[in-house]
Amino acid sequence: MTAAPARRPFDPDRLTAALTAESGGSWRAVTVTARTGSTNADLRAALAAAPDPDALAGTVLLADTQEEGRGRHGRGFGGAPLAQIPVSVVLNLSGVPMAGLGWLPLITGVAVVETLREVGGLDAALKWPNDVLVRGEGAGKIAGILAEVFRAGDRPLVVLGVGLNVDQRADELPVDTATSLALAGARTLDRDALVIDFLTRLAARVDRWCRRGGVDGVLLADYRAHCSTIGLPVRALLPGDAVIAGRADDVDDQGRLLIAVEHVEGDAAATVGGVAAVAAGDVTHLRPAPDGGAADGLP
């Protein structure tokens, strides 16, 4: 049996050569830190301290070890040293209306899935709004996405973070519904190669999105093809214990999930027989309906 490759730090020179504008890439600068609490928090602090925050657009920050990562609603998670990809970037989203920023986690998820399929050889899919799943061997959640608006207005600045599980053993994962590339049998655990492919795809997707001023037919089709939530019976749990249940039919131009409503509980602004558009920030949990025959977004 072949031994797994030793965990090793990111290679800043390799990443810079592949990703920055000086080498024909799309990113301004790539920085690697050995250990941090949160790459997103570090970039938010850098933006707050910068005389010209716009000058940091295109910045990439990676950590070999992230100890205090955060997901939606402030949920915390850490990571085994050298076994994850914690990466955050600063994006200037000029051209995209504020109402459409909900699409950024969805666009990011498409880029992650394409990398996992093309580079990792895995059957990856998306769970709306910000989880990346692996199906088949080693099934589970393999990545999460967090976008935080630093500045609103005509030129939004956003800090976008992705945490991808690469080489964790089962006992190193935070919950038993999570997985890693190693557990799923990926064809490579090369963190540098995965980062390069993902960030190249992300830059191209975001550039097209900004130039077109919002989503287009290509992006919609690609997201629908990768999203395992669409078509499932779901229960959207909202603040105040309200519930909207029905079939997840589609996403709209603001990145909201469109649910054909079959059941409502509590103070939910929805009508049975109608269609409810729920935004990521309004949903505490999204779960398959009890009769959906699925587990946590996996068909």
**Under CATH, what is the fold of the domain 233-288?**
SH3 type barrels. (2.30.30)
Per-residue pLDDT for 291 more than 70?
A: no
Residue-wise pLDDT tens digits, 25-69: 999 999 999 999 999 999 999 999 999 999 999 999 999 999 865
Residues recorded for the chain: 299
- Whether the model clears a pTM of 0.85, i.e. scores above it, the answer is yes
DSSP 270: -
Beta-sheet pairing, 29-36 with 59-66: parallel
Helix 217-226 × helix 104-118 angle, to 10°:
60
Q: Where in the chain is the domain with CATH 2.30.30.100?
A: 233-288
pLDDT of residue 178: 95
Residue-wise pLDDT tens digits, 99-128: 999 999 999 999 999 999 999 999 999 999
The whole-angstrom separation of Cα 115 and Cα 191 is: 12
pLDDT-above-90 percentage for the chain: 82
Whether omega before 129 lies within 30 degrees of 0, making that bond cis, reads yes
**Which residues, including other chains, have CB under 8 Å from residue 68's CB and lie 6 or more apart?**
37, 38, 41, 76, 78
The whole-angstrom separation of Cα 112 and Cα 121 is: 12
User: 12-226 architecture in CATH?
Assistant: 2-Layer Sandwich (3.30)
Name the pLDDT band for 144 (thresholds 50, 70, 90): very high
Q: Which residue has the higher pLDDT, 152 or 200?
A: 200
